[in-house]
Amino acid sequence: MRHPFPSFRSPRTRAASAVLAVSAITAGAGALLALPGSAQAAGTTQCQVSYAVTNDWNSGFTTSVTITNLGAPWSSWTLGYSYAGNQTLSSGWNGTWTQSGKNVTVASLSWNGSVATNGTVTPAAVFSYSGANAAPTAFTVNGVLCGGPSSPPPTTPSTSPSTSPSTSPSTSPSTSPSTSPSTSPSSPPPPGPAPALHVAGNHLVTATGQNYRLLGVNRSGAEYACVQGKTMWDGPADQATVTAMKAWHVHAVRLPLNEECWLGNSDVPAGGTVGAAYQQAVKDYANLLVANGINVILDLHWTHGQYTGGSSACSDVVATCQKPMPDAQYAPTFWSQVATAFKGNNAVVFDLFNEPYPDAADGWASPTQEWTCLRDGGTCVGITYQVAGMQSLVDAVRATGATNVVMTGGLTWTNDMSQWLAYAPKDPTGNLMASWHSYNFNACSSTYCWDNKIAPVAAKVPVQAGEIGQNSCSHDYIDQVMAWADTNGVGYSAWTWDPWGGCASSGSILVTDWNGTPTSTYGEGYKAHLLAQNP
């Protein structure tokens, strides 16, 4: 990131984590919307549903609905349920949400329709309401009441219509979970390390083949600490800070790095953490995050090479700012060493270069030569040092035997992805994904542009919005980015998990302290969205 960023005006929140798990319901289906297809035709469908209100501000709420497939694999799914009150759909993601009266329907999207046996999917939405906000108690999937013909009947009458939608909020969500199995998906997943990831088609997937999106935050600090005489990470990097991230349901952390700090170059100013100590600090923090179930994205952020051309961020030859391209002198060595250090740990992803802008160096004169520079490097117009192209960096990683997923960006500070597919580097392992950044001041900052420039890439390879943010104390822009990304299967990590004095001082800042207190209102909005997205 090379700019300042911001916030969101969130409604007043309360500790509303009301959860209702419904697994074997035999009554109360009469109020549900009749879905296409008969129950007899889909009679083998078996499912379990966990309904959670993750944020309630008395006039609206965010809900997530975790659906577990307990039967044969699904190629598509349609969820149905109804409300007893006046809850009105505002927006939804991870599914096509519609509402007719009190009846709500959610249909699968192209990228999340396939659900394996014991697999889950979690559509989420925002609703407005007034008065009571009783949770629904009966759910269908593909026209069949969850619980299915072969599921055991409930052992108590507490899930009957007499205890739900007509019940007041004080007796509805709070008493329903007592009838749910102790292994309900509404419970937090058991502690465990972050999953190893690889690319399958246009998805990141786990070792078991489950689609996985990287949703999380950037943790700035390591890109500038050693060259500015600051401490490593510019703050704590301990279990307490990781626990604070987990409270937001952060599942991925992007760590911007400095190649000269890692390599311990002699031109780095004295007083910073460099060389072996820097490398060990990166390894320790990455391993701690992975052990806590959080995937890590290692990003080459600041690099060597003097550049004073168009849009120059500094005149230093030392890695003290964002350069238009990585340098051929050190960047391949950096990635060879990083890949060697993390080889075999495929929970770690490599983001090969933060925000290329060879097009600015070229004065936006020739897209063909600018995209060619990005891929092939060498002598690039407007850049006075020898450039390492994305292909040479992929080759450096793969020469070590590492099969970690790698990310490569586009032009214009990786906001322009228009010709990414045509100029993507070759990866013999197939573990290549696209890196995209989106801020409200970028050229490609509308759904029209995303539909036409980003969606075609996302249809072919996984796309990760490595940085999203906005230069105001609001979250209206990132809300749009996330809604679009959720619909198109794109991951994202917001800038930034660093308490730099609030959004008004320097931009997109998520927290006011290392305990994870969200900024008002940018951080509050992003946290609410993560809580609705991630289990």
Query: Which pLDDT does position 183 carry in this prediction?
Result: 27
pLDDT at position 44, please? 61
Instruction: Determine the average pLDDT of the residues in 216-243.
Output: 95
* Measured CA angle at 124 (ends 134, 217), to 5 deg: 125
pLDDT on residue 6: 29
Please tell me the pTM assigned to this model.
0.68
Spatial separation of the C-alpha atoms in residues 436 and 466, rounded to whole Å? 6
Condensed to tens digits (0 to 9), the pLDDT of residues 277-305 reads: 999 999 999 999 999 999 999 999 999 99
**Tens of pLDDT along 69-89?**
999 999 999 999 999 999 999
Q: How many CA atoms lie within 13 A of 391 on its CB side?
A: 13
Contact criterion met (CB below 8 Å) for 343 and 401: yes
In CATH, which of 3.20.20.80, 3.40.50.720, 3.40.309.10, 3.40.50.970 is domain 212-533?
A: 3.20.20.80
Residue 336's pLDDT is what?
Answer: 98
State the DSSP code for 181. Answer: -
CA distances from 291 to 59, 195, 246 (A): 39, 10, 12
- CA 259 – CA 304 distance, rounded (Å): 8
Amino acid identity, position 497: W
Three-class SS string for 115-156?
A: ECCCCEECCEEEEECCCCCCCCCCCEECCEECCCCCCCCCCC
Dump pLDDT digits (tens) for 494-506. Answer: 999 999 987 766 6
Among candidates 379, 404, 381, 380, which has minimal Cα distance to 394?
Answer: 404
Q: By C-alpha distance, which of 6, 241, 468 is closest to 232?
A: 241
% the chain with pLDDT above 70: 82
pLDDT of the residue at 35: 30
Coil, strand or helix at 393? helix
Q: Where in the chain is the domain with CATH 3.20.20.80?
A: 212-533
Q: pLDDT digits over 344-354, tens only?
A: 999 999 999 99
Structure-token match 């990141």, residue found: 204
How does residue 460 score in pLDDT terms, banded at 50, 70 and 90?
very high
- At CA 462, angle to CA 458 and CA 468, rounded to 5? 80
pLDDT band at 61 (very low <50, low <70, confident <90, very high): confident
Residue ranges of E strands in 259-374: 295-302, 348-351
Is residue 121 within 8 A of residue 96, CB to CB? The reply is no
Q: Where in the chain is the domain with CATH 2.60.40.290?
A: 19-179
Q: Which pLDDT score, from 0 to 100, does residue 413 have?
A: 98
Range 420-430 average pLDDT? 97
Question: What is the dihedral sign for C-alpha 112, 113, 117, 120?
Answer: positive
Q: What are 188-209's pLDDT values in tens digits?
A: 333 589 999 999 999 999 998 9
Indicate if the pLDDT at residue 168 is higher than 50.
no
What dotted CATH number matches 19-179? Answer: 2.60.40.290
Burial (0-12, 13-18, 19+ Cβ within 10 Å), 73? exposed
Across 330-342, average pLDDT: 98
Q: For residues 197 and 217, what is the distance between their CA atoms, to the nearest angstrom?
A: 18
